[in-house]
Chain A
Amino acid sequence: MDISYWGLFFSLLLLAFPLFIFWHLKLKLTKQLLISFGRMIAQLALIGIWLQILLDKNNIWLTLGWLLIMITNAVIILRNRMKSHKRILAPIFFIALAAASLIVMPWVLFVVIRPNPLFSADVVIPIYGMVLGNTMNSCALAMERFEGKLSDNWKAYYTLISLGASDWEAALPAFRQAMHISLLPRLLSIAAMGIVSLPGMMSGQILGGASALVAIKYQVMIMAAIFSSVTIADYLAIRLYLKWRFDQFYLPKEER
């Protein structure tokens, strides 16, 4: 069922409630709310036009080019989110996201869904958007936590290397904690799916007219793809960063 433009306008009127609460609490979020929603509408409108062109053309090279732009944007966003070591993090994030994508996406497309034609833009782009968006956020969180755990307790790292641990062995506790912090909330939200929350993809498909059974199948598939991609990218990003973070004597490299 389509939404009319008036309907869309009325949906935005719901924002009157948060705006009233912001005003009541003198919460300085009004400007940010207007900017955020303004940007979202403009970006979605532009991307909607562009996606329509991509879907109509359904050209493999055009689609691949767009996927490359998506991943490059994800890397730039990730790089800007990091507080330190930005120069080295850009290639690390690129490798981690690209490797996770190259493992998960061909499997989803060529083994699970098998659309006809195999590389149809209307399947590849929305699925990759969900996988990449989730992977990007998780990668940022995992990396922040890893660096945070190391920096908060250098004494632990130095003690372990002075007892004969390699950099890998000494950084492993921080690595484990970062992965745990990044993955546990996802597993909990997966466990709550269906009872507590109806996920976006499934809701969207049902609203778009698909049967509940098809929507459930897609949801299970996308959650498996996202969780796999997130875990691979987190692991690779931290592993590569760890390799760079310490010199040949396992001492931390200076900030540069």
Chain B
Amino acid sequence: MSELLKIRIDRLYYGERNLVENIDLTVNKGDKILLAGTTGSGKTSLLNSLNLMNQSYEGEIIFDGRAITGCPPQFLRSRILMVMQEPWLGEGIVEDILAEPFCFAAVRKRGMKKDDKMILELFDLFKLPQEHLKKKAEQLSGGEKQRIALIRALIMKPEILLLDEISSALDQGTSRIVADYLLKSYPGTIIAISHDPLWQAHWQIQWHIKDGIIHIIQGGE
């Protein structure tokens, strides 16, 4: 498998507090990684560091053979894409919300085009009625917003998808459908934070943060 991301961090911190030390991790193309640990252990800080949303660390992160701090942030973030726990969708209708990132210069320069067929397939797969495409974001429930935020990220075909608790507002059935798709059908690389036991049981690799150290656990499906 080809190596996509190298994480060599001596110290990850928040303010004065050390969160994790001596991180030495590699992400290969297609890896499905679960980032686990207790609240405040540094999971989100580590995830945010991977797409330049956090600089509170000493060390180096190499993506595609280049230190991420040397990459233009908008290009890096369109390739290492983050979906947040409480997504913000915007004020227009869902169709326009899904199209918005394709107007960004960095996304256009990557030659990305909105794939309507893929959107409809994902809507069906994630049990979202297609009429929702014409609805305004504020008319949607928390779970629907989370799924649409995930679809918005997936249609951008990122090289690495960073997911921060994206199933927190989903019911068990929908959460299983989303987890099944991401783990079994989605071809890209994923690093996800989740406290959902359903998600925790099925990942190929687990990075477990405990007492400031990352333990790598192989297993799951």
Contacts and interface: CB of A to CB of B under 8 A. Distances in A.
Contacts of A162: 51, 53, 77, 81-82, 84
A248 B55 CA distance: 11
A156 B88 CA distance: 6
A188 interface: no
A49 interface: no
B74 A165 contact: yes
Contact of A164 (B55, B69, B74): B74
A250 B88 contact: no
B86 A155 contact: yes
B101 interface: yes
A174 to B, nearest CB: 13
B81 to A, nearest CB: 7
Interface of A: 153, 155-156, 158-159, 161-166, 169, 248-251
Nearest to B107: A164
Contact of A163 (B55, B69, B86, B153): B153
Contact of B104 (A165, A248, A249): A165
B52 interface: yes
A251 B74 CA distance: 12
8 contacts: A153-B88, A155-B86, A162-B82, A163-B101, A163-B156, A164-B81, A169-B103, A251-B53
Contacts of B107: 163-164
A169 B156 CA distance: 17
Given A158-B84, A165-B101, A165-B104, 19 more contacts: A155-B84, A155-B86, A156-B90, A161-B73, A162-B84, A163-B78, A163-B81, A163-B104, A163-B156, A164-B75, A164-B77, A164-B101, A164-B104, A165-B106, A166-B74, A166-B106, A169-B104, A249-B69, A251-B52
B84 A166 contact: no
B53 A158 contact: yes
Size category, B interface: 20 to 34
A150 B40 CA distance: 27
B87 interface: yes
Interface in B136-195: 152-153, 156
Given A156-B90, A164-B107, A166-B74, A249 B81 contact: no
B105 interface: yes
Contacts of A166: 73-74, 104-106
Contact of A159 (B51, B73, B78, B84): B84
Nearest to A163: B101
Given A156-B88, A158-B84, A249-B73, A164 B156 contact: yes
Contacts of B81: 162-164
B78 A249 contact: no
Interface string B65-98: 0000100011101100110101110100000000
A159 B87 contact: yes
Contacts of A161: 53, 73-74, 77
A165 B74 CA distance: 6
Query: Which of B75, B77, B82: most chain A Cβ within 10 A?
Result: B77
Contacts of A169: 74, 103-105
